[in-house]
Structure 1
Amino acid sequence: MTDATGQWDWNRMSSILPELVLRKIATIRPPNNMLGSDVTGWRWEQNWSFTTKSAYEALSNYEVPSFDFKWLNIWHLKVPQRVKVFVWLVVHDRLLTNAERFRRHLAISDRCTWCQTSSETVDHVVRHCSTAISVRVAVIKPHLLNEFMTMSFLA
């Protein structure tokens, strides 16, 4: 796509590319053998190779969270896998509560389905819902209850 002088061949490119693409190309220097061979590369990896991980991180602006040590052992808990997944969803604020569904216009109310007393947030579901109290009492040891009620869920 370059002419004999090494510059972009605008006549050739304008016949096959839209104006928007041509403007972007205009911001890029044409290939130059003096600078080395023109090769493709993935700029988000040091070795220029594409990985799904680097694509995900680039697209999501992913930063490694600073984990509270209490949550590091989620996957080592001796509980069913679905409980581990539930805990992971809570810690990462990904539990699809009615408050979140309402915010996304997927529900007509943000109220808790079980108790109907307040907005169904992650905190409400895990700590304050009257229906969840029986589960919490059965799962959380009494001497750890105060710490559980005050600790941050987010990793």
Structure 2
Amino acid sequence: MFWCVLHNSILTKDILIRRGTIVDPICSTCSLLEETISHAFVHCPQALQLWFEVFKPHAGSYSLIPTSDSVEELLKAWPTAIGLHLGKRV
């Protein structure tokens, strides 16, 4: 799934609009911002809650999530944020 995210292959609303589909650009999950890949996977409150659960064993690294501008930036920072062994697997 992250491969698709990194290659903009997930059909978020911003991509659908670029392809000519008429759709409301606001995120259907939170109704706060435009739905982009970064919003859906990093900045949406629902995504942040999921990341919080993932990072729970490494609570000090959770601050990495809201400060990341994109999924790619988050994954690049992962090895130094959580530990080299887990980072290599991700």
* Alignment-derived partner of residue 128 in structure 1: 43
* Alignment-derived partner of residue 23 in structure 2: 108
* Cα distance in structure 1, aligned partners of 2:28 and 2:47: 12
* Cα distance in structure 1, aligned partners of 2:64 and 2:16: 29
Is the Cα contact below 8 Å between 1:89 and 1:95 reproduced in 2? yes
Query: One-letter code of the match for 1:93?
Result: N
Is the Cα contact below 8 Å between 2:25 and 2:35 reproduced in 1? yes
Structure 1 runs (4+) greater than 4 angstroms displaced? none
* Alignment-derived partner of residue 142 in structure 1: 59
Query: One-letter code of the match for 2:48?
Result: I
Which structure is higher in RCO with an 8 Å CA cutoff and minimum separation 6?
Answer: 2
Instruction: Compare CA radii of gyration and give the structure with the larger one.
Output: 1
Map of 1:24-103 to 2, 5 A cutoff? 86-103=1-18
The SS at the match of 2:10 is coil
Which of the numbers 114, 118, 134 marks the counterpart of 2:33? 118
Query: One-letter code of the match for 2:59?
Result: P
* Alignment-derived partner of residue 81 in structure 2: none
TM-score under structure 2 length normalisation: 0.61
More helix by share: 2
* Cα distance in structure 2, aligned partners of 1:150 and 1:134: 15
Structure 2 gap ranges (5+)? 77-90
**Count of residue pairs brought into register by the alignment:** 70
* Cα distance in structure 1, aligned partners of 2:34 and 2:69: 20
CA drift of 1:122 comes to 1.1
